[in-house]
Structure 1
Amino acid sequence: MTMNTYQSLDALDQLGFFTEDLQVNTAYTNQPLIYDNFNNLTPGDYIKVTLGNGYTSEGIYAFNGDRVCVKETTYFFEKKISYPRGRKQVIQGIEFAEFSEGDKVQILTRNYVPNYQLPQKSEVYPKLVEELKKVPLNERIKTYRRFCDSYPQYEVTWSRLLHDVWGYAIVEVTTPQEVEEMIMTEKNEHGRYYESFVKPFLNYVFENVEPSLRIQYIASCAWSRSWQHPMTKRTTTSVTTFSTTGMLDGVYAKLLAVTDNKKVFNKLFDVWGINFHNVDDFNLEKNCNLLKLVKEGEGLWLNKSLSIGVDTL
């Protein structure tokens, strides 16, 4: 019988089940748990964390730092996990979890891992490349997300690193043929995001722009729309662009730079995402030339450095 088992028993009749007729001093059964100050933690300590919702887990304390989108200090620790892969195989690994002020921690074993070290950042990229190579393109995002669990992915610097290595790794391991096969065989879930008046511009890019330069035109075009709020009668204008930060935008651009198939080219923009911008932040008139005015407040724009000669669409 372990101490943790006894701590989990809440009633004397439960304790009596194991002690039979022995006399038990109730003072010992009601001892409060003693929690440690976060300042006493050192990397390599084996700890038990109790979150504010009562959930508990154990693992090796790693470090503290700034968490993405959180102002207070966050504490990170690694714990062992197992998850199924297929019907029989079980994969063992580690996963980084976290806790913060308001949660509680107990140091179960000090210096459980002497000279504890975080994973080497220099090893992240080659390891990710190898993992992505093992699976087809349509499973690589899922593989990447599972890969990130093995690192303190929500700490600010690690978050940036993992984001950056994905952008390079997915392009390195993916061929244009894989992208074409995926977009042409998988069902399009969202349809076109772009306005109909953008279509002539896309045709222009396919027919007149050197393939290796196409991405510059796609990344530099924008379209604006205006509408009037029915209550305030105030007119609002928004600007939309093709995304350059989506998880698959890099491999879309890779196919864009080589395809000579119009059907494939068009299909790319059925799956390519878009971004919305505040018109004041985007500063259309300063950075772009108007290629096509559809109506007041609505039109197609292109970066000034690229718009020369693209004046009739």
Structure 2
Amino acid sequence: MAMPDSGQPHEAGGGGWIILGVLNEILLKLASQPDLRSLWEEVCSSARWIVPSQRLCVVLGNEGGGARIAARYERGNFEYGAPEGGGVVVDAWMVAALEAQRAAWFKGPWAEAREADQARAWLLAEDPDVVFHVPIQVYKKTIGTMLFALEDQRQIDRKALASATTYALYVGATYTMLKNSLDLAAASAQLREQNEELERVQIELRRQLDRVRAQHEAMLEMSTPIIQVWDSVLTLPVIGTVDGARAARMMEEVLAAVVQHGARFMIVDLTGAQATDASTIEHLLRIFAATRLLGSRCIVSGVPAAMVGRILEVGGSLEGIPVFSTLKSALEHVMGALRQRPR
């Protein structure tokens, strides 16, 4: 595509010179904008005091290349973003404006340029004499450009150029600070949401852990059902595997029950016990020994065949402890002992 003629403003011309006080007032307005839409609306509205134009289009470069339309302004009517279907600009005409280090202008004919995309068609709709572009720079790097569609090239002279350049520099600085501030606020809000979500997850995890602990406590209580089958006779049916935590609970409950009931006999029924490792056997042997130390006679019933081998493997012994094949046999033995020696 043929590029329109370009050039620099001349010394003479009809361009306006904006006084310092007015420019300062404009810049203060820019600095007070709360978001990017408000900023670009104020940028476009204030620009009419610097460069009287038919239309104004603000283009920002993308980090990955190409550009996008940030705002448009036409005789008091502000539009945020690009015309529908014309949001991305990648052609040479706009790229040339974005790569420019100083203000310049494009001059028609516009036939091919107007057909390039909808954003260009909007800018050239009133067949301007020239399109004056002023780079928006930050730290000497061009991040965008303001394109003014002018009825007459003579509207731009050196004085207008100086005002527009100063204005564009401040626009770049204000835009960058506001965008960084908004990005930081967004990142802070996201981090705050993540922290709040993390706190909610931690609270829920603590609740679940409390429930698990409560369930575990309930299971431990249910796993140590000490039953008083007769005066001074207690029975402890052991079901499942006995780990360290359960063994400690069993020891505590058994000793407390023996003391509380003055039990002469404690029958430990192992019919449903599982001897999966040596530690299970060691826990049970310690419970047997502790019961005898309190003066209660410990009786064992229903020892599984697999447990017998485990007892021998760990070097344990049931010597001195009456052992019966069933709980019924153990109870009959205890009843007989009670009849022979009534309390």
TM-score bracket relative to the smaller structure: under 0.3
- Tell me the TM-score normalized by structure 1: 0.18
**Structure 2-normalised TM-score?**
0.17
Greater helix percent: which structure? Answer: 2
Which one has the largest radius of gyration? 2
Richer in strand (by share): 1
